[in-house]
């Protein structure tokens, strides 16, 4: 039986690191395996990654996934199959990856690391649509902007001023979502979330939250 709520503290995440790549894992990934860090429903992987200049990483997919790439600072090249594409801060990339496919992500810059979120969501049915890159604008604050919407997943992002109260309501038929604080601090359903903390909520249709710092940014994935 799943718990109604599970907090994923930034300092308690798993970590894989080399000289050119660092990845923090909210859920079990690779050699990081703990009993209380199982995937959250269809959200199988949620990694907070950094790549050094000119470096590349590759991931071999073990299932059919919808992949989310969300650059936080800078931009990245990504490739799966023919040709590569570029996505930068202020955009998201959504990639349909088939079991056995290889995703390559590269930092194209000569100086400076790039930071990005990489999430893997299982698909009930294979979708052969090509990758899409979608822009978003956080100029309008104190509201959640929809990044992507499909029958399987809906993604939202918002930037909020300090000490403002809000209520997030799930889409019709959705009763679970994962929240991740990109910047600042929030209180979600009376649970304190600091920068890079995550919260999984199950069997809920709405949640009150408060931004505790000016310019705080939150990502919400309905899965």
Return the domain boundaries, the chain: 13-134, 136-222
In order along its 223 residues, the chain shows pLDDT tens digits of 456 899 999 999 999 999 999 999 999 998 898 888 999 999 999 999 999 999 999 999 999 999 999 999 999 999 997 678 999 999 999 999 999 999 999 999 999 999 999 999 998 776 778 899 999 999 999 999 999 998 878 999 999 999 999 999 998 888 899 999 999 999 999 999 999 999 999 999 999 999 999 999 999 999 9
The structure tokens 């718990």 sit at 3
pLDDT value, residue 3: 65
Q: Specify the pLDDT at position 42.
A: 93
CB 218 within 8 A of CB 178: no
> In terms of pTM, does the model score above 0.85?
yes
Topology (CATH level 3) of domain 13-134: Jelly Rolls (2.60.120)
Quick one: CA dihedral 184, 219, 51, 46, positive or negative? positive
Do the domains at 13-134 and 136-222 have one common CATH topology? yes
In order of 28, 32, 184, 193, the CA distances from 12 in angstroms are: 12, 12, 18, 13
Superfamily of domain 136-222: Jelly Rolls (2.60.120.10)
Question: Chain centroid to CA 195: how far?
Answer: 13
What integer pLDDT is reported at residue 1 of this predicted model?
A: 46
Q: Which residue pairs from 35-39 have beta carbons closer than 8 angstroms and sit at least 24 positions apart in sequence?
A: 36/6, 37/8
Task: Give the per-residue pLDDT at 146.
Answer: 96
Tokens of 215: 């310019």
Q: What are phi and psi of 142, to 5 degrees?
A: 60, 35
The residues near 80 (Cβ < 8 Å, ≥ 6 apart) are 95, 97, 101, 102, 103, 104, 131
């Amino acid at each position: 039986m799943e718990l109604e709520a599970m907090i994923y503290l930034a300092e308690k995440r798993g970590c894989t690191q080399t000289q050119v790549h660092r990845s923090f894992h909210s859920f079990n990934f690779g050699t990081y395996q703990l009993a209380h860090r199982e995937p959250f429903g269809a959200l199988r992987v949620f990694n907070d990654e950094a790549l050094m200049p000119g470096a590349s990483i590759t991931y071999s997919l073990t299932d059919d996934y919808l992949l989310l790439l969300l650059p936080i600072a800078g931009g990245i090249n990504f490739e799966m199959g023919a040709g590569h594409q570029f996505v930068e801060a202020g955009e998201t990339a959504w990639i349909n990856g088939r079991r056995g496919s290889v995703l390559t992500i590269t930092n194209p810059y000569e100086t400076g690391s790039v930071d990005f979120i990489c999430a893997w969501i299982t698909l009930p049915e294979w979708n052969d649509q090509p990758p899409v890159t979608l822009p978003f604008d956080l100029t309008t604050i104190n509201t959640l902007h929809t990044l992507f919407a499909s029958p399987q997943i809906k993604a939202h992002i918002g930037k909020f001023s300090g000490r403002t109260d809000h209520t997030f309501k799930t889409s019709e038929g959705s009763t679970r979502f994962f929240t991740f604080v990109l910047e600042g601090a929030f209180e979600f359903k009376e649970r304190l979330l600091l920068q890079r903390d995550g919260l999984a909520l199950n069997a809920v249709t709405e949640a009150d939250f408060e931004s505790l710092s000016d310019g705080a940014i939150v990502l919400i994935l309905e899965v």
